[in-house]
């Protein structure tokens, strides 16, 4: 009976050892599977992150394109409105120009006005300055020779101003000559209105 009991205990130990070994092997296998699943999960997460990044980039590009298209559409509408307004103004201006005698007559009147302005600026202002100087107490206190010296300088200044005035008037005459047989154009109207022609009429 003693021997049989001893054998039974050994058998129990053998069975327990096998059971423990199986459990250890099972845990290792489970750990490997978990590690593999973790690697797979990390890979999937990284791929998903890249897809999300690409999606965000695509959305950003799409939004940028939509904004650019919207701006282009607004610019197109703005040009159409400006072109229509400019065309109306040109037609109205041409009618008024015809009533006053044509484009050349318009330019002639403008040049005459510029001439009067130049004559006033160059002559009247200078003469007023000279008159003020001659009537000043400082000038009267000068000697006769010093006064004559100042008069000579003022005469030279008059001649200088007159020469400059004639040059400006000659430029206006040349401008008038270039307008003969010329009609008001859209470019000319834009210049007079201080409008960028190329911005409105995109070439």
Domain boundaries, the chain: 1-73, 101-203
Neighbours of 106 (CB within 10 A): 17
The single residue listed with the structure tokens 């044509």 is 102
Which stretches of the chain score pLDDT less than 50?
A: 1-14
pLDDT at 24: 58
Instruction: Count Cβ neighbours within 10 Å for each residue of 125-162 and write b for 16 or more, e otherwise.
Output: ebeeebeeeeeeeeeeeeeeeeeeeeeeebeeeeeebe
pLDDT at 76: 85
pLDDT at 3: 45
Please answer whether residues 184 and 173 qualify as being in contact, where contact means their C-beta atoms are separated by less than 8 angstroms: no
pLDDT at 2: 44
pLDDT digits (tens, 9 = 90+) for 64-101: 777 778 778 888 888 888 889 989 999 988 898 888 88
pTM for this entry: 0.49
Provide the token pair at 101. Answer: 């005698």
Q: Burial level of 114, CB count in 10 A (0-12/13-18/19+)?
A: middle
């Amino acid at each position: 009976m003693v021997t049989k009991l001893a054998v039974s205990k050994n058998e129990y130990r053998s069975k327990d050892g096998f059971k423990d070994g199986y459990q250890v092997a099972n845990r290792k296998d489970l750990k490997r599977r978990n590690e593999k699943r973790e690697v797979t999960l990390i890979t999937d997460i990284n791929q998903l992150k890249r897809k999300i990044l690409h999606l965000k980039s695509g959305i950003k590009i799409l939004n940028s394109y939509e904004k650019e298209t919207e701006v282009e559409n607004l610019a197109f509408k703005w040009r159409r409105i400006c072109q229509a307004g400019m065309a109306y103004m040109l037609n109205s201006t041409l009618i008024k120009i015809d009533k006053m005698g044509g484009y050349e007559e318009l330019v002639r009147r403008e040049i005459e006005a510029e001439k009067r302005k130049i004559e006033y600026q160059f002559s009247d202002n200078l003469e007023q300055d000279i008159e003020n100087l001659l009537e000043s107490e400082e000038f009267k206190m000068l000697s006769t020779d010093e006064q004559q010296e100042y008069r000579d300088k003022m005469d030279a200044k008059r001649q200088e101003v007159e020469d400059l005035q004639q040059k400006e008037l000659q430029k206006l005459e040349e401008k008038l000559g270039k307008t003969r047989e010329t009609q008001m154009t859209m470019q000319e109207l834009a210049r007079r209105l201080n409008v960028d022609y190329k911005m409105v009429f995109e070439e």
